[in-house]
Structure formats: structure tokens, C-alpha cells
Structure 1
Amino acid sequence: MIFYDRFRAGVNLGGWLSQYFANLAGGNHFDSFITESDIAVIAGWGADHVRLPVDYDIIENESAPMTYDEANLERIDRCLEWCGKHGLNVILDLHKAPGQVYGYVPEPNPMLNEDGNRERFLAIWTMLAKRYQGIGNRLVFELVNEITDSTDYQWNRVYLSAVEAIRQTDAERVVLVGGNDANSVLTLKELTLSDDPLVVYNFHYYEPLFFTHQLAPFSEDILEYGKIVHYPGEMPEAQAYLNKHPEYLHKLGRQAWERNDKQLIEKYLRHADNFMTYAGKQLYCGEFGVIDQAQPDDAVRWVRDVVRLLDERGIGRAYWSYKEMDFGLVDRNGAVVNKELIRALFE
């Protein structure tokens, strides 16, 4: 099985069934944010798949755990139908799980550490495995988005249990698994590997955050840094900033003081090379992208280099994200933000 052959170039449908804020999106958000016409546009660009992020509280009734919202599950069904019609494969990503904490915290993640949350997580995947058992290999399950495990041990046990739960119903489904520290390429080496040949491993690539998230209004640490970073180019005063803020080292300090160029990307991707060579496992990059605050030409150059380097390695990828979300390829009205970026992604 060569995962890259069917999941080479895709895009995330972020902000539709995940990270959804009713007070901002409006009452008809679920029916208007993503429609079949959007799927047709993505297929027309030359993509071969979409990654569909879904938050657990969109499909699970929070007031009655382990019961599920049929209306929202049917939205997933319709998206699968649209994608089938337009020739796109789908990665179904549980973007937020019960009890999940995003970002680094020193305490154990409640998603992994509390029995009730683990049970709900496994139950969700048991339900989805049964619901989609009849769909062929055009559908892949991604267990959870950007896990953080301060213990360095719990996620390995929980993910293997989730694979086992899916296998009770579906022996043929490809399952994607990411590593610690928000799917960092640096933590692939910490995963306990499964012998299951249909488990594919996953990382996200936003390095360096000083560039890809520059001036991000949702990120206090990056916003405080407040510098424009070019590609290729220097990261002005990055080391001095980290020296002043050691509390940000865990998130921002990964080689980030070096020059922002193709050589830095290659340096990070050596960790992927080692994983594929010595673990003998397939890899996929489920998210990468550049914030809309960056200079458009810089974004195109960075994306083109990342895409080419991933293609050279046989690593498929999905850009974050299709619409809005500070990284969108199109705006709220569906207008393309940067045509050269589309070309760089799907040429």
C-alpha cells in the first residue's frame, strides 16, 4: 500500500465542522460554509483529497456522552458523497476529542488521563468504524489532531487501543496517527510503532512559527514578537526574544533562530527521512501553511519549497486551510486569495 498515490495533494476543510463559533459564523453556518460547489472547486484545482476536521462536540451530545447527533453525522455523509462524486478521497480527522487540551501544559492531558474521556474517545471511533464500514479505501480515519502528552507515555497506549477498537469492526481501514507536541516531526521518534500495516504516521509542518504564524492575532507569544519575517530571510532578534521569554522555548525554540530558508526546511525533514528509513513506515503531512499576514510572495516561495521537498520524499500533504481561518486559500465569498499559491500547491 502506497499512501502517497491516493493522498498526494489535498486541502483542509477547517472551520466547518471544527473550531466552529456559532456567535461568529451565523445560524446557517453548517449549510453554507462548505457546500458541494466548494468540493468541485478543490477537485478542479487538481487536489486528490480533502482532510475533514470534525470536533467531537459536533457529533457527540455533550449532555449525554456516547450518544450522537445524527443530523451532524449526516453532514459528514453528504461530504463523503460530494467527494466521491468529484473524485476526491477523504481523511476524517477527529480535530478535538473529549477532554483534549491543546498546547503544551505540564500536567497530564485530561483526554488521555481520565477514564471517562478515554472511553468516550474509543466509543466515537467504534461508532464511526461501524457507520463507514462499507466505504472503501477512499476514506481514512485520523485518530486525533495535534495531541499533547506531557507524560510522553499515555498517547502511545491510547492510540493503540483506538486502532484495536476500529479493527474490531473494520480490518481494512487506513488509520493515521500523529506524534506528540502537536504532531511535530521532531517527536515521531517517540511513538510506539504498530505492527498494523494499515497504520500510517502523520506530522504537521509550520516551522518556523516565527514565519508561518507571524503577527498571528490568536497567538500571544508570536504577536508579542511582532516582527515581519520573509522567506528566504532572517528572523530578526528571534534569539534575543527567546532569551527574554524562556517560557516560549517549548513552542518556538526549535532551531527558530536560524535563517528562514530551504536549508532549514530540509533540516527539519531529516527527522522524517530518518523515521521512514529506520522505522520503515509511511508518512503524511496533514497540515502546513502560511498565515495571511505574511507577504504573499514569501508564502508562495515557502509553499513551493515545502511541496517539492515533500514530493521528493513521497509524503502526501494537505494545506491548512481552504476557507478563511487566517490561512485560507479563499475568502468567505469563495474568491481565491492568491492564485500563485494555488499553482504552487497543485502544479
Structure 2
Amino acid sequence: MNRRTFLRNVGLAAMGGLAGCSKVLPEITSLTQHTNNTNSNASTTAGTSKNRLPKWKGFNINDFFQPDPYYAGGSTPEEFFKWVADWGFDFIRMPVAYPYYLNLEKYQKYIHNDDVYKINESRVNQIEQTIYLAQKYNLHVSLNLHRAPGYCVSTGYNEPYNLFKEKDAQDAFCYHWSYWAKRFKNTSTGKISFDLVNEPCYRADVNDTSSTTTAIPGSVYRSVAQAAAQVIRAENSNYYIIADGNNGGSDVVPELADLNIAQSCRGYTPFEISHYKAPWVYADAAYQPTPLWPGTVGGRYFSRATLEEYYKPWIEMVNQGVGVHCGECGCWNQTPHDVFLAWFGDVLDILTSNGIGFALWELKGDFGILNSNRADVQYEDWYGYKLDKKLLTLMQSK
């Protein structure tokens, strides 16, 4: 389907001054048809929690995180998913940069309006096969557009428009979510969910990631999320749909509370601990003081009590009947390991004691449980990989 056919089939409704979308795509043939068998592993909730989302616990994988379709990154081996399940986890979040599955020229940096409709089926098949590998081990997969038409929280391709300001971008956003919903329309809702866009925030120039960011006006976020939810639910009305918190994942979005859309928080506060010495966050990273927990961090005293205050709006959302999950959490490898574990233990305890599940960023890599390249960890050999056993034990205990 090309852009013209899509727009002809789309029904646009004005909501909050922006465009909405409705039914869009013709039949798409999936590699494998899946039945609506319930994934019992993913349907467990905590005690008496009011959380409308399952208490999923697991990891992010970054196979398709890079926007460049020619990026020669590694793919997650099947045995990784087996290990995740054997360790007692039931969830994989899969951030995807949509240019990865477009037909683009090699080294092309600027995306044009019509480029966003040029889907490369072979690359979609790669994503789909990875999803099926995870589901083979009863892991629920949450498909997330880390880079969506007109928006990404990080650097990469230059977008032709702004998702939160322009109708063309919103049309393309709906097109992609309708495509994915159609692709998995016969998959159990216990096996897959859709996380609309990673860490939305507003900046004047969508391509200038160094510019000052602010929260998106709630009415704008509502209209964009509602439009995408409509096209997804046109394929399966029972899908779990998740919207990341406003202002880069930090803030609850009360404007979405009545739309049966769950919300995703983050486990990165304070950044001075989670992203200690991260050069992509702090220009003066080399001069940051070594963090403590509890202790003074970035000129402010932090403790479990300050974390409880931070997560209070998210817990209130749960109590109001809104599904909540922590889609990303963890710590870069420069934070002292004992400080990381002390802080992270408080983060996870606050979340899980309120029925909120979590996903570590990442399974393997500098934030991960495997091959994190920390200098102060006595790793356990795990089939040739370096396993952070203390971190694994902490996560299993929650």
C-alpha cells in the first residue's frame, strides 16, 4: 500500500486540534499464524494489586534499536530467551527504529515524506522472527517504536516533520501501527503488546536533540495516542496498548486515563546515579562526583523516601485503574556496583510492591546483566558470557 492509497482509506477526525486515524490496511500475510492461546506466564498479577497490566518482569533487547538498516549489529540468540525464561522472567521489550525496516539508500540521513511508506518486508520478517523466538519461551513481547515517524528522543535520521505538530507525521504514525497490528492480528494478546512511542517530549526542532525539551501538551499527546490506539484496536480490540510517560518517560499522562491505554514509567531517577559519567548525557561527565546511595546526588539528598515521592503519581495511576509498567530501568556501567545495587533495590522494591513490573535496559551490554563491562564486578561465566550474578539475584527477588 502506498501513501496515497493509505490516505484515501483513512478517516481523519479532529481531536484537540490534531488528526486522528481509523481503519487503514489491507490484509498482510504473516510468516506464521498464531492462535489466541493464553500465555499464562504473562498473565500473572501481583497479589491484590489494582494494576490492569500484568506484573511483567524482564529485559529490553536492542537488536533493532539502531535506525540504520545497514547497521551490522548482533541479533539476540535463541538461547538468550531460554535463559530469560529459565531465570523466572516473562517479558521482553523490543525497541524498534522504524527506518530499520524501510527501503532506504545506504548512508541516507534524511527521510522524506514518501520514504516512511516504503516498508522492506524482509526486514520486517527479521523483527517478526525475533518476536516469535521470544514467544516460543512464553515471553510476552512489547513492540515499541523507539523512533517513530516525526519523533525520536535520541539522534539518528533527520525526520521530515514533527509527530506532535503535523498531520502528515500523525498519518504516517497511524500507518505504521496499523501495519504492525494487522501483522499480529492472530497473535494472542497475552503474547504481544504495543508501546506507541519511546519517551515523548517536545522540542522546537525535532531533529535537534541538544535543544531544550519540555512536556508535550496533554491534549496533543492524547490525540496522537488515541488515533494510534484506534487503528490498532481495529485489528484486535483486546490488545494491550502502552504509552510512555510524558517529558521523556518521567511524568504520568492523566489525559490518557480514560482511554484504556496503559502507561510506562522509567527507573532512571536520579540520572546522576543511573547515567553516571555517561557522555551522551553530561558534557562534563568526567568530573562528576562519585554517587552514593542514600546520599547527596547532584546537589540534592536522595533516599528511598525521595524515590517513593517520585513514584507516587504512578502508584496513584494504578489505584485509579490505569495499567502501569516500568518499560526501562537500570544503570550504566560506570556507577559503582554496590551503589547501583543499593539504589536499584529500592527502585524495584517500590515498583513491585505496588504491582508494577519492570524491564531492565538491557539484556546484554553496558546496562545489562550479561557482558556489562563493569570493572568492579566478579562475573560468573555463563556459557561464554559474563553474568552479573548479584544483579540477577536482585531482580529475581522482586
TM-score by length of 2: 0.72
- Return the match for 1:70 from 118, 121, 142: 121
Report matched runs for 1:187-336 at 5 Å: 187-188=251-252, 190-193=253-256, 195-197=258-260, 199-221=261-283, 223=285, 226-235=288-297, 238-239=298-299, 257=300, 259-277=301-319, 279-324=320-365, 326-331=366-371, 335-336=385-386
1:331 and 1:264 map into 2 onto residues whose CA distance is 31
Distance change (3 Å), C-alpha of 1:220 and 1:260: same
Question: Structure 1, residues 269-312: CA drift from partner, whole Å, max 9, x if none?
Answer: 112122223x4312111011111001111112222222221111
2:225 and 2:76 map into 1 onto residues whose CA distance is 30
1:262 and 1:273 map into 2 onto residues whose CA distance is 15
**Residue 64 of structure 2 corresponds to which residue in structure 1?**
17
Distance change (3 Å), C-alpha of 1:145 and 1:90: same
Once the two structures are aligned, what percentage of the paired residues are identical? 25
**Residue 94 of structure 2 corresponds to which residue in structure 1?**
52
Q: CA deviation at 1:221?
A: 4.4
Report the 3-state secondary structure (helix = DSSP H, G, I; strand = E; otherwise coil) of the residue aligned with 1:266: helix
Which sections of structure 2, spanning at least 5 residues, go unmatched?
A: 1-42, 46-50, 105-111, 155-160, 203-213, 373-382
Q: CA deviation at 1:144?
A: 0.7
2:303 and 2:229 map into 1 onto residues whose CA distance is 38
1:328 and 1:21 map into 2 onto residues whose CA distance is 23
1:285 and 1:182 map into 2 onto residues whose CA distance is 13
Contact 2:81 2:137 (C-alpha < 8 Å) held by counterparts: yes
**Residue 17 of structure 2 corresponds to which residue in structure 1?**
none
2:230 is aligned with 1:182: no
Letter in 2 for 1:292: N
Letter in 2 for 1:343: T
2:178 is aligned with 1:115: no
Distance change (3 Å), C-alpha of 1:5 and 1:195: closer
2:237 is aligned with 1:171: yes
**Greater helix percent: which structure?**
1
Which sections of structure 1, spanning at least 5 residues, go unmatched?
A: 104-108, 240-256
Distance change (3 Å), C-alpha of 1:22 and 1:74: closer
1:110 and 1:44 map into 2 onto residues whose CA distance is 42
- Return the match for 1:82 from 133, 149, 154: 133
What is the root-mean-square deviation of aligned Cα atoms in Å?
A: 2.4
1:156 and 1:65 map into 2 onto residues whose CA distance is 23
The more displaced of 159-168 and 335-344 is: 335-344
1:339 and 1:39 map into 2 onto residues whose CA distance is 17
2:347 and 2:87 map into 1 onto residues whose CA distance is 18
2:200 is aligned with 1:160: no
- Return the match for 2:389 from 327, 331, 339: 339
2:340 and 2:182 map into 1 onto residues whose CA distance is 41
Contact 2:60 2:92 (C-alpha < 8 Å) held by counterparts: yes
Contact 1:183 1:203 (C-alpha < 8 Å) held by counterparts: yes
2:282 and 2:140 map into 1 onto residues whose CA distance is 36
Contact 2:296 2:302 (C-alpha < 8 Å) held by counterparts: yes
**Residue 253 of structure 1 corresponds to which residue in structure 2?**
none
2:293 and 2:87 map into 1 onto residues whose CA distance is 25
Distance change (3 Å), C-alpha of 1:222 and 1:4: farther
Query: Which is higher, the Rg of structure 1 or of structure 2?
Result: 2
Report the 3-state secondary structure (helix = DSSP H, G, I; strand = E; otherwise coil) of the residue aligned with 2:265: strand
TM-score by length of 1: 0.82
Distance change (3 Å), C-alpha of 1:228 and 1:22: farther
| Aligned residue pairs, count | 310
Report the 3-state secondary structure (helix = DSSP H, G, I; strand = E; otherwise coil) of the residue aligned with 1:284: strand
The more displaced of 64-73 and 171-180 is: 64-73
Contact 2:146 2:152 (C-alpha < 8 Å) held by counterparts: no
Letter in 2 for 1:329: I
Q: CA deviation at 1:214?
A: 0.7
**Residue 19 of structure 2 corresponds to which residue in structure 1?**
none
1:155 and 1:260 map into 2 onto residues whose CA distance is 31
**Residue 252 of structure 1 corresponds to which residue in structure 2?**
none
1:92 and 1:4 map into 2 onto residues whose CA distance is 18
The more displaced of 205-214 and 148-157 is: 148-157
Distance change (3 Å), C-alpha of 1:144 and 1:101: closer
